[in-house]
Each structure stands twice: as structure tokens, then as C-alpha cells.
Amino acid sequence: MFKSLRSVSSLAQRASLAARNPLQQQKRFLNIHEYLSVKLLREYGINAPKGEVAKTPQEAYDIAKSLGSDDLVIKAQVLAGGRGKGTFDNGYKGGVKTFSSPEEAKELASKMLGHNLVTKQTGADGKPCNAVYICERKYARNEYYFAILLDRKSAGPVIVASAQGGVDIETVAAQSPEAIITLPVDNSVGLTQEMALDLAKKMGFTPKGQQQAADTFQGLFKLFNERDATQVEINPLSESSDHQVLCMDAKLNFDDNADFKQKEVFELRDFTQEDPREIAAAKHHLNYIGLDGNIGCLVNGAGLAMATMDIIQLHGGKPANFLDVGGSATPEAVKAAFEIITSDPTVSSAFVNIFGGIMRCDVIAEGIIAAAQDLDLKIPLIVRLRGTKVDEAKKLIKESGLRIFAEDELDTAAQKAVRFSKIVALAREANVDVKFA
């Protein structure tokens, strides 16, 4: 899987991939389960192995029996890479297994369902497995890699393909960049039959399989455009011994900005796979990403948020989150932001850094005061406000009578947030109750 869209632009230049920064993960893209991706592929006439989803061991048994094969695969439906090498919280290893009987399907499903699967992408807690996908096991004559992504450099979609599929594509790109084919596509023209056939030949499909491969490419490109996808990844895309072209595994991501016109797709969203804090933030139109530090940050604007996190780290601290309230937040949204920040038990200080352009400082101040009063904050709160209505905001904070540490200079405010955080952390280690109010 490609780790960032930025890496695609880079790959188009030098055929190499960059690892995704966790900060960029899951914020613009809806990610759906494999079995739902396969269902969507079939709507576009794209071939995939037969399979169904099971949510109980008995359903797994029934599906395996109905498929009428003794060569099947069961896959844990968890939105993370590395499922096959993952470990469940009950100690069972492997989220992808082959089996030959309905009884085995039932037994394997019972070990997966209801347990968290920990992979290299999930973090230590893992993600819950609430469904398993049971499908035919197909034997490929050849395996390929195929993906469509958005490329900033060409300002449009780019196809990334390789004859080396079924393996970690980042490794292929790093070790054998010449094995990566990139094809920018002009959306005003689309992916023509000629372009698709030429790509099938370059990838190494047999003469008998090239036409179906080209048809598959065009179907995937149509899905990409019509469904406002940001990524369509098939790994592996296989050609069987009888020259059938099959999508063996599918990963589809969709642009969150298109949710108003892709309601059918966005109804497929599985909230159990997401950070509950991110879900709560989305309800209030806040941009939130949890990190592994202990200084909660509330900022307006992504650029200022990045700068705030940088200066916190410069002074020896670690941000606990990226939280952008945007330019139209209400006092209620600001209060909700504090609820999200303080729900993280590792947070030992909170830093508010607002530059009031569109966002008025007095609105932020009202939200800060309401949060401090209603949430009974027990961590130090450092506030830096500059810009529109800043004097009114300072007055509100001063008259509130609350112990809020207001600073005008960013550097000073960041230093104070880091120092207070360390004090609280030490107090917690010593089991001493410290309250800043």
C-alpha cells in the first residue's frame, strides 16, 4: 500500500516511495473493509473470487458450506495492513488463514471474531475484528500490482503498476524502481482502451489475458472517478492459468469532502475501526488526530498547528494531538475540543494557540472558560491569543477568575506548557494530586 499521496508524486519522479507519516493518516480518506470493496468492484463488472462476509462462527460455517469448495480463505476484516502477520489479543496468530472444511471455518472464526487484531499498523491495542471474509482460494499464474491515486504534480489521477504483485510494493519500489510503471491520466480524456491495452502488455499479461486486464483497468478507473476515490489499490491483481484476471485483494479509499454526494459509499463506514476521539471531533467539525505525547494542543489552522507542535518538541515536550478548530468554531465546539483533549489520560497540560483572523479570539475565550468551569480541569491551561477581538478575549479570561495562564509570546507559552506538563507528570508518578484552577 502506498503510504502517502505525496510519495506518489515523488515516485513519478524517481520511482521510490516514502513511508506515511502517522499525522497524515485517515484524515481525508474514508477506508472501507475488503468485503465491501469487493462488492463495489463487482458493481463495476470487475472480477473477484467468490466470497461472503460472516459475523458469527455459525455464519462462517454456513458460507463455507455454500461455497462448495475445499480450498478456501478466511480473512479478518480489520482496517489495517499486515493482517496475515498480526496477532489477536487472545494470542492467536494470523488474521488470514487457508482452510478446507466448514468445521474449520467455524473454528477459525471463533478465534478471530470479537477479538482485537494487532498488526504493524494498528498500535499496541489493535483493532476489533467484528467480521470475517470467506472466499475461494485462487491460484495465480502471475501476480501484479495495480493502483490509482491522486498525484499533485500532474494535478490528476496516476496509475501505478508493477509486474511484481502480491508483495510489499514499497520494498519493490525501493529495491527495483525500474519495476514500477507510472501512468498519469488526463481526466478530460480518461483511460482509453489503447492506453489500457498498452499497460497490460507492459505489465506482462499473457496475450490471452491482456484484453480482460485492460477491461479491468478501465473498470477500476471508472470506479475511481465516479465514486470520488482517492485510492484504488489491487494487490495482487492476478492472472489465473485459464487467463482469468482477478482482483484478489482490494483497498479503496474515498475523499471525505465527497460525503455529501457519495452517501451510499459513506454509509459503509465502520466507526469501530476509528479512534473514538476522532469520531467525536468530526461531529463538531474539528480536525483531530491523536498522537503519543502528553501536551494537548488546540489551534486554528493546520499550519499554525504544525508550528505549535514543532515548538513544543523544540522545548523538550511531546504533543498529544493535532487539533484544528478551523475558522468557524463556536464556543460549544471549543468546549467539545477540550472534552476530547482531556479524555486522554496521558495529557498533563493543555496549550491553546489561536491566531484570530476569521476565528474570533473572544469566541475561543468563551469556549475555554466554559470548558474550564464545566469540566473541572485538573491540568494547567496555557493560552496564547492574537488577532481579532483579542482584547475582548483577554478581558473575558481575566474576569472569569479562573487560573488560566495567558501569554502573548509563542515561545514563552510553549516553554510554560512543557514545564507544567513535566510538573504534572512528576506529581502523578509520586501519586500527588495537583490541581491548576
Q: What is the DSSP letter of 355?
A: E
Report the C-alpha gap between 54 and 123 in whole angstroms: 25
Task: Return the exposure string of 363-399: e unless at least 16 CB atoms fall within 10 Å of the residue's CB, then b.
Answer: bbbbbbbbbbeeeebebbbbbbbebbbbebbbebbee
| Residues tagged active-site | 145, 233
> How many residues are there in the chain?
437
Q: What is the DSSP letter of 19?
A: P
What is the three-class DSSP state of 400? helix
Nearest partner of 22 among 293, 217, 232, 247, judged by Cα: 293
The helix (run of H) or strand (run of E) holding residue 296 is strand 295-299
Cell of 119: 498488526
Nearest partner of 416 among 427, 426, 404, judged by Cα: 404
Report the C-alpha gap between 85 and 118 in whole angstroms: 9
**Do 430 and 424 form a contact (C-beta atoms < 8 A)?**
no
* 434: number of Cβ within 10 Å: 16
Provide the residue type at 93 as one letter: K
The alpha carbon of residue 55 and the mean position of all alpha carbons in its chain are separated, in whole angstroms, by 23
The DSSP secondary structure of 80-102, one letter per residue, reads SS-GGG-EETTS-B-SEEEESSH
Report the C-alpha gap between 75 and 73 in whole angstroms: 7
Strands 295-299 and 349-356, by their bridges, are parallel
Is residue 38 classed exposed, middle or buried when 0-12, 13-18 and 19+ CB atoms within 10 A define those classes?
A: buried
User: What's the CA angle centered on 264, arms 258 and 266, to 5 degrees?
Assistant: 55
Which residues share a beta bridge with 30? 254
List alpha helices for 294-360, DSSP H: 302-314, 331-342
